[in-house]
Amino acid sequence: MSEPGQHRYVSSDRRVREDRRFVVGKGNFVADIGLPNTKHVALVTCPYPAARIKSIDVSAALALPGVHYVLDGAELAAATLPLMTGLDTPNVPRRPLAFEVARYAGEWVAAVVADSRALAEDAAEKVKVVYEKLPFVLDAEQALEPTSPLVHQAHGSNLLLDKTFTWGEVDKDFAASPRKLSLRVKWGRSSTVPIETFGVIASWDPWRDMLDVHASIQMPRYADQIGIALKLPVSSIRVHYDVDVGGSYGVKRGIKHTVLVGYLSRRLGFPVRLIEDRLENMRGGDAHGPERLFDVEVAFDDQGIIKSMKMRALENVGAYAGRSPFQLGKPIGAIVGPYKIQSVQYRAIAVVTNKTTQEAVRGFGQAPTNVAIERTVDEVARVLGLDPIEIRRRNMIRHEEFPYTIPSGTTYDSGNYHTVIDKVLAHTSYEELKQERDALRAQGKLAGIGIAACLEPSGGNAMFEALLNPKITTTTFMDSCRITVDGVGSITATMHTTSSGQGHETLVGTVIGEVLQLDPELARVTRPDSLNSLPSGTPVGSRMAIMLGGAAFHAATKLKAKLTAIGAHDLGIAPERAAYANGEVYDRNAPEKRRAWVDLVQIAYRNFHRMPADMEPGLSVSHVMQVPTGGKLPTADGRVQMYPCTSFEFHLILLSIDPELGRPEIVKYRVGHDCGTVINPKIVRGMTMGGIAHGIGAALYEEFAYDGEGQLMAQSFMDYLLPSSHEVPAVEIIHHCTPSPHTVLGQKGSGESGYLGAPAGIANAINDALRPLGISINTLPIKVSVLGDMIAAARDNKEK
Amino acid sequence: MRIKLDINGLKREVEVEPRTTLLDCLRDTLGLTGAHAGCEHGVCGACTVLFDGVAVRSCLMFAVQAQGSAITTIEGVTPGPGELSPVQDAFCETHGMQCGFCTPAMILTAHALLANNPNPTRAEIVEAISGNICRCTGYAQIVEAIALAAERMRGANRPKDAHP
């Protein structure tokens, strides 16, 4: 489907058009947007992990000059509806401000509105809240105990979800297998932590009945959710999509922030803005990622063929349920990874605790699951004395077996895993890498090779919603594009969501240029507001190359067809005799007979008498795209076609650890990458590299750790450690292209796989390094302090 | 209080509170929004500006402390409307960014590096930008952008047959 040189603009190393505004500091970030008379919000937060709010005294705060209002949770709860959640848990309501009870340290209790942010912060310190401390629970397993304090009394337990799926003959396969192995893997609480915090400005116009919203948002159905919560028609919510989002990677879902400032702006009659500071962002912004405990059991034979797997995943979603428990559902679409495991039992459990609320994070739960799978595969290799690459080769789906349906019902579209591995090893000799590892060991270092494969399900067919909540019957996740050629022939295309660095304007321009055979720079790409948009999602689920790229492709194809019909009619020939090339339409039988772009525009805009019968004048076409392979509800036995496409990565890492300090250092990093047809190589490379950097953080440095009193310990970048240029090594990416049969250009998603594979690869490398000491670690992040202590203890034991 | 600042070569007189940071003054008072607030505690580097040519964090100093020094922001290194400095252009060439939020600070840091070291090694580039956190890119294309800018700037205004 896609060979090198097959395309004119697609796959060529073109610049990214968005970059020009960013390099001069002219991005349109939410904090840069100044609406006249805007007032600022600062928040009063609860200092305890669980507390009843007895009283709130705002008099001292309101007495400060420049302070306009202090809003508490009771007033807000009376005026708005609870926020939308994913699971059917009506007794776990979520609101922007705590109502009666606060459920985590840092939860927002009141909002102060003042002339400046500094004044609002001053006033927030003067709000006096009387609390009654309540018992709390932080640990997911403790939250399941019958004696545990309840985070939400009315719900009756801390359990939000407990669902077991059995796909295939699990018991039979386990009974028939000569070998079994079990493993406990823990993924620590971290997140994407964009450098821009979340921000939103809401401005209510009471004479037009319109709430204008500018936000650094990445939230599907954002306007719907605002309207529902504020009890306004969605036609009164105007979300401005031309706001540049300073990084998101999943988490910028700020619905509670938006409902808060939306209410305040209506109540007070001026624009209200809330730009989180870093503490609000990390503690009360409700943007933590998964914290998940896995118990994995596999049954396999002496050759290392894994027949069956049982996985229990226990997720600590924090104090409230948003969309986050669905992150246990998305991995079902790739529950066996790239391996031919024929039966699976999967138990997904989500509990609430008195920690910060979770949000969607890059990969939507797939990265933790991938660590569990890949650690387990490595352990199988270890007990059998097999090479970790060899065991993967033996278990992986072979190229000729695609399309391949996994036990949970999803059919993988295409892949060539063995070839990708071969290409990586042709680039970097495995034998030499092992020699290099052994040489490091001989120097007294601990050194290990880490192998990890991973799949990146892409396309965003979010069928985990219906799978985990039968009340949801959504089977479409649309995206759209409109292309208009104006009366003098310029092209303007639209997209209908915000972006957070993915280069979507470049994507749309490139695809339209490809179809119309015109320089992509000729196509301007704009973002109308939500009231002028076509149905669209957001950049979730690695879907935009597939869905926005697909919508742009189909819209451009419709435009081309219309131009061809106009040209044929004007040439007086049958439509099938006309051909389109480079913006012109010509007669196949007499190529000198042609209508140029300007002629076609002239006819469409001014010469209706030259138009084909029954054709609309003007040149504007649109396409709303359904997800490929989508449209089907899960079966009664819990099988579902999740995402349409699966990208593949193979990580090969050499890592050394200073045995005295426990400090790991990545010596070599290679990754084989196959996301089908690459639309823009610069973008795909950046996504891959950025994902790996993010994965290094999750594997080694980043954790929202809590102390025993329920206080978040990582409240600043002094404690929550983001990888700097020193921590991210040079990575060599080895590309392969296995096109998807389901997409217009053979493209697949590429925004997540670096993050899905790197933590598993690093965990495997560290365990390979620790093996000579007879120890292993399966709890991420693997921090220097933990590693140093483990190594010291193991050495002491050896000496004894 | 009223203070006098030298911003991008222009003398500006502004009214600020003593506690106003240089970052807030640049953004809110002077409308120079290319400097970004990322953490406001001196770690992420998104607020970087040049202070007498040295890359500093504008969130960690008060506006009043900037009196008497030359402050350069991203707006000050952009040659003119629609134009890019060699460093800015190199960042576009390698796509040394994604969301663009850390980018102005990263570019100012690169300007400061290249002003003192026209031919930096990879390790020197990595060291120079290690105080600027980028969450999107994994740094590879940023390092390449700075190396490319260095190469182009070394070649500027030289006869074409000159030795590199």
- Domain layout of chain A by residue ranges: 19-25+478-625, 33-134+198-275, 292-463+633-799
Nearest alpha carbon to residue A437 among A657, A649, A696: A657
Interface test with B, best of A24, A521, A678 (most B CBs within 10 A): A24
Contact state of A722 with B135 under an 8 Å Cβ cutoff = yes
Q: Does domain A19-25+478-625 have CATH number 3.30.365.10?
A: yes
Percent of chain A with pLDDT over 90: 98
Task: Tell me which residue in A25, A118, A192 faces B104 most closely, judged by beta carbons.
Answer: A25
Task: Tell me which residue in A244, A248, A717 faces B100 most closely, judged by beta carbons.
Answer: A244
> Scanning every residue of chain A, which has its alpha carbon at the shortest distance from the alpha carbon of B17?
A118
Q: Which residues of B touch A19 (CB under 8 A)?
A: 91-92, 95, 97, 100
pLDDT band at B158 (very low <50, low <70, confident <90, very high): confident
Residue with tokens 């090594």: A729
| B160 has a pLDDT exceeding 80 | no
DSSP states of A749-798 as a string? --SSHHHHHHHHHHHHHHHHHHGGGT----EES--HHHHHHHHHHHHHHH
Half-sphere exposure of A162 (CA within 13 A, CB side): 7
Q: Any residues with CB less than 8 A from the CB of B123 and at least 6 apart, and which? A: none
Task: Tell me which residue in B43, B134, B139 faces A718 most closely, judged by beta carbons.
Answer: B43
Q: Residue A2 has what pLDDT? A: 46
Q: Distance between CA A109 and CA B74 in Å, rounded?
A: 38
Q: What are phi and psi of A647, to 5 degrees?
A: -85, 165
Spans in chain A with pLDDT lower than 70: 1-5
Interface test with A, best of B72, B101, B148 (most A CBs within 10 A): B101
Q: Which two tokens stand for residue A531?
A: 């009231």
Q: Which residues of B touch A244 (CB under 8 A)?
A: 99-100
Q: Which residues of B touch A193 (CB under 8 A)?
A: 135
Min Cα–Cα distance to chain B from A269, Å: 22
Q: Distance between CA A294 and CA A370 in Å, rounded?
A: 11
Q: Which two tokens stand for residue A32?
A: 């840069």
Q: Distance between CA A185 and CA A351 in Å, rounded?
A: 18
CB atoms within 10 A of CB A157: 15
Structural domains present in chain B: 2-76 (3.10.20.30), 86-155 (1.10.150.120)
* pTM of the predicted structure, to 2 decimals: 0.97
Q: Which residues of B touch A28 (CB under 8 A)?
A: none
Find out whether A274 and A203 touch, Cβ atoms under 8 Å.
no
Q: Decide: helix, strand or coil at residue B47.
A: coil
Q: What's the CATH number for A33-134+198-275? A: 3.90.1170.50
Q: Which residues of B touch A725 (CB under 8 A)?
A: 126-127, 129-130, 132, 139, 142-143
Same fold, A19-25+478-625 and A33-134+198-275: no
Q: Residue B155 has what pLDDT? A: 86
Q: Which residues of B touch A23 (CB under 8 A)?
A: 84, 88-89, 91-92, 97, 100, 103-104, 107
Q: Distance between CA B132 and CA B46 in Å, rounded?
A: 7
Q: Residue A797 has what pLDDT? A: 87
Q: Residue A468 has what pLDDT? A: 97
Q: Which two tokens stand for residue A383?
A: 């007990």
pLDDT band at B163 (very low <50, low <70, confident <90, very high): low
Interface test with A, best of B136, B141, B144 (most A CBs within 10 A): B136
Q: Residue B162 has what pLDDT? A: 67
Q: Which residues of B touch A195 (CB under 8 A)?
A: 36, 38-39, 44, 46, 99, 101-102, 133-135
Min Cα–Cα distance to chain B from A508, Å: 16
R_g (Cα) of chain A, nearest Å: 28
CB atoms within 10 A of CB A104: 32
Q: Residue A1 has what pLDDT? A: 40
Min Cα–Cα distance to chain B from A363, Å: 15
Contact state of B126 with A725 under an 8 Å Cβ cutoff = yes
Q: Residue A208 has what pLDDT? A: 97
Q: Residue A548 has what pLDDT? A: 98
Interface test with B, best of A19, A115, A214, A718 (most B CBs within 10 A): A19
Find out whether B3 and B14 touch, Cβ atoms under 8 Å.
yes
pLDDT tens across B103-155, in order?
999 999 999 999 999 999 999 999 999 999 999 999 999 999 999 999 999 98
A492: left (phi over 0), alpha (psi -120 to 50) or beta: beta
Q: In sequence order, what are the beta bridge partners of A315?
A: A292, A350
> Scanning every residue of chain A, which has its alpha carbon at the shortest distance from the alpha carbon of B27?
A32
Q: Residue B120 has what pLDDT? A: 98
Q: Which residues of A touch B89 (CB under 8 A)?
A: 23
Contact state of B97 with A32 under an 8 Å Cβ cutoff = no
Contact state of B101 with A728 under an 8 Å Cβ cutoff = no
Q: Which residues of B touch A666 (CB under 8 A)?
A: none
Q: Which two tokens stand for residue A389?
A: 């690459």
ipTM beyond cut 0.90: yes
> Which stretches does DSSP call E strand in A540-617?
578-581, 584-587, 590-595
Question: What is the SS3 assignment for A515-534?
Answer: HHCCCHHHEEEECCCHHHCC
Architecture of domain A292-463+633-799: 2-Layer Sandwich (3.30)
Q: Distance between CA A516 and CA B47 in Å, rounded?
A: 42
